[in-house]
Amino acid sequence: MPERPDLPRAVTDLVPQGLITQVLGHVPAEGYAGGLAWLPTVPRLVAELVEQWRLEVTGPATHGYAALVLPVETPGGPAVLKIAWPHPEGRDEHRTLGLWGGHGAVRLLAADPSRWALLLERLDPRDLNGPPVSVLDSCEQIGRLAALLDRPAPPWTSLSASDHLATLVADLDALRAGDRARSLPRALLERGRSLATDLATEPGIDARLVHSDLHQENVLWRPDPGEWVAIDPQTIAADPAWVVAPALWNRWPESAAAHDTRVHLRLRLEVLCEAADLDPDRGRAFAEIRMLRNAVWEIQEGTATAAGLTRHVTLIKAFQPA
């Protein structure tokens, strides 16, 4: 794929290259537009939303994992306009933010779900992804937010852990039967399949609304009154311990540099679980299975590297029983 495909100048002037690369590099979910179809619509979406919400764009665009973010001024003060590339994990963002009502999460000012657009309060850009916030302090803060954001899963929640785990079991079966079966250790695949099968059938596996991507870069500072809040909720109906894994696979250099990576990662998990009032054994089980899911995705997409798979195996084994 060329670094900059044949896109209109209006797109390349507005959309950061990083977001262009990101959305073009992913196969869209079934029923969703691919990046090459979505990107040309972005300038029109921005113009329509600026008019609809009476906004003034006040700076260049930035981007998240799959969304354009523009600083804007509204009649009520500064805000940010977020326009997401349509993807299943983002379907419930506006409903989730509305449910949380700004308590522990960014405030939703307006939403246009048909355009995958949100108007959000403007936060300070500092996050938990490095100094002066230590890695253990970041895990403690994420645990506190997980507890604050915990709610029963509403009926409108689109994704569920039971479905996610059933898909993982099917993907593990296909991987073990295919020509890439040796990409990961056989014992790791067999243990993962057994664990996913057991977890998927547990009562209450889909009982709570969980921010499934609550990691250090998805927590920003709210200057008034002075508190950390979550952003970018990719929510799922799941066990509360589903929340743990992203805070552990992020800030990887500190894990890799630790004297004992396994001890370091397990300490991070214990700090997070204590702050969130979660059972550490549940946290370890869901961390292991979610990290296996990441490894299998990379193998399926053809993006896996030897170094990346080694990292995944290290993470997975860190949370297995000794």
Residue-range domains of the chain with CATH: 9-122 (3.30.200.20), 127-318 (3.90.1200.10)
What share of the chain has pLDDT > 70, as a percent?
A: 98
In whole angstroms, give the CA distance from residue 257 to residue 240.
Answer: 29
Q: How confident is the model at residue 312, as a pLDDT? A: 97
Average pLDDT over residues 275-303: 96
Angle at CA of residue 159, ends 115 and 80, nearest 5°: 35
Q: How confident is the model at residue 65, as a pLDDT? A: 84
How many Cα atoms within 13 Å fall on the side-chain side of residue 191? 17
* Cβ 231 vs Cβ 220: under 8 Å: yes
The per-residue pLDDT for range 39-98, each reduced to its tens digit, is: 999 999 999 999 999 999 999 999 988 999 999 999 999 999 999 999 988 999 999 999
pLDDT at position 3 over 70? no
| Predicted model pTM | 0.94
In whole angstroms, give the CA distance from residue 103 to residue 212.
Answer: 17
* Cβ 220 vs Cβ 126: under 8 Å: yes
Average pLDDT over residues 202-225: 97
Average pLDDT over residues 254-269: 97
Residue 143 banded pLDDT, cuts 50, 70, 90 = very high
pLDDT at position 147 over 90? yes
Q: How confident is the model at residue 5, as a pLDDT? A: 65
Q: How confident is the model at residue 1, as a pLDDT? A: 41
* Cβ 216 vs Cβ 129: under 8 Å: yes
Catalytically annotated residue among 92, 127, 171, 213 = 213
Nearest one of 38, 127, 117, 129 to 80, comparing CA atoms:
117
CB atoms within 10 A of CB 117: 22
Q: How confident is the model at residue 301, as a pLDDT? A: 85
Instruction: Kindly state the helix (H) or strand (E) to which residue 197 belongs, with its residue range.
Output: helix 186-200
Average pLDDT over residues 293-302: 93
In whole angstroms, give the CA distance from residue 62 to residue 292.
Answer: 31
> Catalytic: 213?
yes
How many Cα atoms within 13 Å fall on the side-chain side of residue 152? 2
The token duo for 298 is 């990379």
CB burial class (10 A; 0-12, 13-18, 19+) of residue 225? exposed
